[in-house]
Amino acid sequence: MDNDRGATERTERERQSRRQIMQTAICAIGGAFAVMAATPAQAKMSQKVAEYQTAPKDNQSCANCALYRAPSSCTLIDGNIISTGWCRFYSRK
């Protein structure tokens, strides 16, 4: 009978230990997600820094740039961007 009680106590301790490990792992994963969610998105740069202009340069314009997002935005530059504009980060589609 003492063997049964010893085995039961051991099983209970193992169960409790596994439970603690799982709780710790879940907390760690949850904490990692909280940190990632709290990290702010990268800010866009100003039009001045990007040397943005409202006229195209040669045959380069925002309309045929990979960074341009119609109807009036860019993935790098802040503010209203027009399709006929241009900046120093032009990247052909």
Using one digit for the tens of pLDDT, what is the confidence trace for 32-74?
666 666 556 678 999 999 999 999 999 999 999 999 999 999 9
Residue 37 is predicted with a pLDDT of 61
Q: Which residues of 5-24 are buried (b: 16+ CB within 10 A; e: fewer)?
A: eeeeeeeeeeeeeeeeeeee
- The pair phi, psi for residue 86, each rounded to 5°, is -155, 150
Residue 9 is predicted with a pLDDT of 65
Residue 88: pLDDT band with limits 50, 70, 90: very high
Predicted model pTM: 0.56
Residue 59 is predicted with a pLDDT of 94
Residue 7 is predicted with a pLDDT of 61
